[in-house]
Every structure is written in C-alpha cells, then in structure tokens.
Amino acid sequence: VSRTLHQAAITGVGYTPFTKASGKSVHALADEACRAAITDAGIDAAEVDGIISFSVMHDSVPCQAVATSLALGDTRLLLDVDLGGQAPCYLVELAAMAIETGRAENVLVFRSMNGRSGPKVGGMQFHGAGGQFRYPIGFDAYMMYVAMFANRFLHETGQGFDDLAAVAIAQRRYAEMNDRAYRRQPLDIEAYRNAPLIVEPFRSDDCTVEVDGACAVLVTSLERGRDHAVPPAVIASTAYAAGRRSGLDLGDHLLWEDYTRNYTSHLREDLFARAGLTPGDIQFAEIYDCFTSTVLLGLEGLGLCGRGESGGRVRDGWTALDGGLPTNTHGGLLAEGYLHGMNTVAEAVLQIQGRGGSRQVARHETCAVTSGAMMDGSAMILTADR
Amino acid sequence: MSSSRVPAFADVDSTAFWEALGEHRLVLQRCGANGHVRFPPMPACPVCADTEFDTVAVDGGGVVYSRVRVHRALSPAMANETPYTVAAVDLDAGPRVFARVEPDAAIGDRVQPTFVDHADWTELRFRPELDQSTGDQS
C-alpha cells in the first residue's frame, strides 16, 4: 500500500490585463489567465487534472466551462466555491491537500470577474438571513462593514486616519513600479486628504480599485514543480478560520464580539505551527486589502507587529521595499486592482520566485499571505525551495 | 388597525421581531436553556445550540460599540439621507443590533430607541440619551 505525502508548491501564475471594461466574458478572461499560468509553468494543459475557483452571487464562470475550453483531460478535482475574499488561500489549501494526498497532480486556482463593468461585489446584497437587518437602513455596502470594524479598531488601539493614509501611500509607491497596477499615479498625504470621506474613516484611496480581469496560479507537488519552467514556491502551511458565531451571511457581523480582531487572530496559531515558523521568520507579507484598515488588522492579527503598533510601523517605512517587512509589493488590491485577493497570492509567488522586477524584495525566502477581511478568512506561508 | 406590519423582507424566524417593531416594541429571543438573549433571530441559541426559546420584550437602551458615518450613499434610496450614521449598538439586554442613530453619536455614547414608521415596516432607530431635541418620531 502506497501512502506517499507529496509536499505542495505553486509554480505558474497567469493574469489578464486589469481594465475598466474588458469587453470579454468572464469565461474568456478565466481561460486567458489559466492558459497563461499553464504556459508559465511550462507544462501541457493535458497535465492539469484539477481546477478550483470562487465567485460571489454567480459573478464568474463555472470551472467545468473553463476545463472544457482549456481542453483539459480527465479532471480529478473540480470545485466552484461561493465565497468572497476569504477564498484564495483557502482554495490553494484545498488544492494542496488534494496534491499531498495523491488525489490530483496539477491544480489551477483562479478568480475571474468583470468587477468594474459588470456586477460589483462591494454593493451586492448577499443571500442569507442577515441582510434584512442591514439593507433597509442603508447599511448596505461591504465598505460600511469593514468601516464598522475599522472605527472600533482605531478607537481601541489608539490609531487614527493618518495610519490608514500611510497604508495607501506606502502601497502606491509599489504600484508605481508595477506595470499591471491600475492606479499608478503618485499619492501623498495632501492628495489623500483632498478626497472626500465616503464612509468614515474611508476616502477613495482607502478603497480597492475595481477592475475587470482574471488571475490564476498552478498548484503542484514540489517534486513535480522542480521540473517546471519557473521555481516552485513551497506551500509551507495553510490555514482557514471562521471564528465562533461568524454570522448568518457574508456581511453579518452582529454576533462577532471583537471588531478589533479579524480571522487573522484566529488562524495565527495554526498557520505558524504548521510551518514550524514564528512571525519573526517572515521576510515579507501580502495582506488582503480591500480597504486600508484590513492591512493593519492583518499585521497585528498575525503577530507580525504588536497590537496598536501597525500604523506607526507603516508610517515609519517598515512595509516599504527597503523596510523590515515589505508588504503588498504589487500595490495591493488598493492599487493593482481588485482581483479579490487572487492577485495577492500571485504576487507572493512571483516575489518568492525572484520575479518581482523593479519591486523585487531583497529577502524573499518566507512570505505570509492572507485572504479575507472580517469574520472568516485564510492564510498561507510560502517559502523558497531549499 | 389589526393588520400586522411585517415587511416583505422578513422570514419565518424574524416575523415576531418585525411584528413587535410595528407595535413600537422591541422583542428578542431568549434561550430556554441558558437564558441568553440573542439577536438576530435564529432557530437555536448561538451559545449553547439549544432550540427551545421564548420571546421577551426589552426596553432597548444601549451603548454605541462602533459606528460608521455614511457621506456617500450606495443606494439611490438613501441619497437624500446623507450624511447618516449607522451604529452597532450593544443593548443593555445583551445582544448587538445595527441601527441608525440620529443625530450622530460617538463610540461609547449611551443611546435610547425610537421607532420610525415607513410605508410597510417600522425601523428601530436610536437617539443619543443626552439629546433632548428628538423624541419618538412615529
């Protein structure tokens, strides 16, 4: 009886351009990004036997359709998940578990959305019983829920609006070095403050920029990945957590007691224990950032800095390219574009592989990546192949 | 008038809550096993999972745990309301609710309930406890 465990890794990454109006179907976008990831890995589409994606309110294309248009062979793993920004690291985790147990060999994980010209996630009214207690009173946008967390977080940790501004400004510097980024014009504190408040504490530069596009990564075994065209980024650990009483739907936070801590506080122990690492071992981070505040909650939640310290650290340049913990090196969802965190994962892979171009971080052997903003979410630690 | 004001967006679990708001009362579910008063309405206790419960009337005073000030509304229906505040209010009775607070209130402020009648439903709203300028707007 063979019971081999195969260490999982990510090799190929693929993107479409991030645009205002793609003029393409979500199927065509998904196909293009997946094809690019397969080509990047230097394998044949026939070697891909798994495909996983996520969507909200059916804003994407079923994996079955993409497997069909990619002319994949017999598929061993196919999964459409109804989740939002919580999903990317979680789906990589599911792919990795399939690979580690020999259920699949090469698995595509993708997100495709016409998120600017088509349905916008931020204003969707989610299925579930929680909506009746939000939507009729004008508590009806995802940014309002994240702002509800942010205001309590800033209040309780003694941080303020300028700490949020620092996140937007630091990430914009990376975007200036990223051809793919949608927002590339320089941002300083005056320009930040000149934009009106939309939902306090958020101004426009605190918010992700919605785009049309797709992004895909290829999950494989480390053994197999060593023969691919690009170096494997080793999946040292993954974790998903939904804290207790995470609510009735994607936006319901009525039963979530502590708005100063999100899922990152809940999965931190699993994440580092599974990797055999500590927060001090992490060299750079890619933290999910639909809004600036989630970067601060993520840095503190993972223990990458102390409670209440994140804003000051960002203002001091800690997350910059020459800082102690370069963070959101693509410009984040704030500036590269809202590919719902799939591009956050892809950026981590590129940096581990040393393919970050002018924004390449100097130390790129360990990275923490997160997916999600509030009650539930996922994370992983990627390491260089040693 | 005997017709109950239960909005179309209510469900079986929440009917009693909306019906009571229509009568300008706040009623919440209380667990039959541990006495935990909960919100939102649901089929079982989120603390102990017990499915026995009754409904209790509470007075509705509370404290602002967090709040958002909306300057640009998402929905056209709210465009004329801006700026407005939505708060997460921790009720003295235990659970947290989301509701508008008019006029604005800060984190930590005490608030008292008001009942605002719309065409086919009644909204739970709050006013700062120390503010004497607005009363029950029904």
Question: Looking at the complex, does the CB of residue B94 fall below 8 Å from at least one CB of chain A?
Answer: no
Question: Looking at the complex, does the CB of residue B68 fall below 8 Å from at least one CB of chain A?
Answer: yes
pLDDT at B130: 82
8 Å CB contact of A199 and B71 = yes
pLDDT at A271: 98
pLDDT at B5: 83
A338 is catalytic: yes
Nearest Cα to Cα of residue B69 among A301, A61, A199:
A199
DSSP string, B19-84: HHHHTT-EEEEEETTT--EESS--SS-TTT----EEEEEE---EEEEEEEEESS-SSGGGGGG-SE
Which chain A residues are within 8 Å of B39, Cβ to Cβ? Answer: 254
Of B14, B42, B88, the CB nearest to A148: B88
What region, left, alpha or beta, does residue A299 occupy, with left being phi > 0 and alpha being psi -120 to 50 degrees? alpha
A142 is catalytic: no
Contact A237, A384 (CB under 8 A): no
* Residue-wise pLDDT tens digits, B62-78: 999 999 999 999 999 99
pLDDT above 70 for B134: no
Write out residues 24-53 of B within 8 Å (CB-CB) of A.
39-40, 42, 46
Q: How far is A139 from chain B (nearest CA, A)?
A: 7
pLDDT at B138: 39
Rg (CA), chain A: 19
pLDDT at B137: 45
pLDDT above 60 for B25: yes
Report mean pLDDT in 10-residue bins for chain A, 386 residues.
Answer: 78 98 98 98 98 96 98 96 97 98 97 96 89 97 97 98 98 98 98 97 98 98 97 98 94 97 98 98 98 98 98 98 98 98 98 98 98 98 94
pLDDT above 70 for B108: yes
Q: What CA–CA distance (Å, rounded) separates A340 from B111?
A: 37
Q: A382 has which bridge partners?
A: A235, A367
Q: Report the share of chain B in percent with pLDDT over 70.
A: 92
Sheet containing A77-82: give its strands across. A77-82, A50-55, A107-114, A212-221, A8-15, A233-242, A376-384, A366-371, A284-286
Measured between CA atoms, the residue of chain B closest to residue A257 is B96
8 Å CB contact of B70 and A129 = no
Structure pTM?
Answer: 0.96
8 Å CB contact of A200 and B107 = no
Handedness of CA A276, A282, A285, A288 (dihedral sign): positive
How would you class B71 by CB atoms within 10 Å of its CB: exposed for 0-12, middle for 13-18, buried for 19 or more?
A: middle
Reported ipTM: the value is 0.95
Chosen from B74, B118, B121, B137 to mutate, greatest number of chain A CBs within 10 A:
B74
Q: Which residues of A touch B (CB under 8 A)?
A: 123, 129-141, 144, 147-149, 151-152, 155, 196-200, 245, 248, 252-255, 259
